Amino acid sequence: MRVVLLTILCAASVVARDPLAQRIRHADPSRYRSSPSVHGGAGQMAFGAMLNASNFQSNFLFLHRGVLPPKTGIGQHFHSTMEEMFVILNGEAQFTIDGRTSVIKGPAGAPCRMGHSHAIYNATDQPVEWMNVAVATIKGKYDNFDLGDTRVGVPLDPIPQFISMKLWRELLRAPAPLNEGKGAVQYRRALPPEVFFTPWAYVDHVLMPSGTSIGAHKHMGVEELYYVMDGEGAVRVDDETAPVKKGDAIVMAPGDVHSFENTGGAPLELMVIGAAMEKGKIDSVNVK
């Protein structure tokens, strides 16, 4: 009886959730923490955690958001049990994977696959808006091995010799309804599941004109992380609705029936990152 009661209480704690508005995290520069020489990198940057492993059911590890001031960066380092992706939302930065460095213009990112090394450096005279997403092979486990290399002044390849993604609007597909939503939106899968060794499933880019929506749908085998790159609108999860705006992030757990609507006058731009509950199994079901 005691074991049964404990099981019921544990299940109840998993099901219990905060109201939708409280589950939306907001990028807040005033709460970023200043950190010198991150992974042996140049200068001092500021960042903070918007989400950590306890906010996810899948093997998502964290979502960090911050700023790379001019002439600062994150030094070259390895991860042996997880994968990271540095993303810049404006400007440009020097991305390094496995000791090869190229300049990439934002919004863009470069995934660092498990067992490889990566770094980033802002060589410009303007601050760069930065974020970092990670997915682990073991839930909640973080690891790193620093190389003590700032990557400052290294030779640059004109063409990146590593996997990268560009979240450029001109690369989006022709407008079409998405998940049977209202109007036509533009969509593109920037990174497919084949890129990753962990349960990381994909990275999608979505642009919603004013008055359009993404129809209600759910995933039973995938957890999604939505980040609002630009604009404002409303998100609906099950029977709750809340406003979202640029800089917001929200997690859609498996089974959450969710939809988005652009309620503003400008396009609503989303980055959608999926992590599979079981590697290789991706699903989506429209809900009317």
Per-residue model confidence as pLDDT tens digits over 100-154: 999 999 999 999 999 999 999 999 999 999 999 999 999 999 999 999 999 999 9
Strand order in the sheet with 200-208: 25-26, 248-252, 222-230, 268-276, 200-208, 186-191
Selected from 3.40.50.720, 2.60.120.10, 3.40.50.11740, 1.10.3720.10, the CATH number assigned to the domain covering 22-166 reads 2.60.120.10
Percent over 70 (pLDDT), the chain: 94
Domain map of the chain by residue range? 22-166, 169-286
Model confidence over 223-257: pLDDT tens digits?
A: 999 999 999 999 999 999 999 999 999 999 999 99
**Interatomic CA distance for residues 261 and 228, integer angstroms:** 12
The yes/no answer on whether domain 169-286 falls in CATH 2.60.120.10 is yes
Domains 22-166 and 169-286 share a fold: yes
**Interatomic CA distance for residues 173 and 207, integer angstroms:** 10
Percent over 90 (pLDDT), the chain: 91
The per-residue pLDDT for 281 is 87
Environment class of residue 213 by beta-carbon count within 10 Å: exposed (0-12), middle (13-18) or buried (19+)?
buried
**Interatomic CA distance for residues 180 and 41, integer angstroms:** 46
The per-residue pLDDT for 216 is 97
Which residue do the tokens 């140049």 mark? 42
Work out the average pLDDT over 2-13: 39
Residues in the chain: 288
**Interatomic CA distance for residues 28 and 65, integer angstroms:** 9
Work out the average pLDDT over 253-268: 97
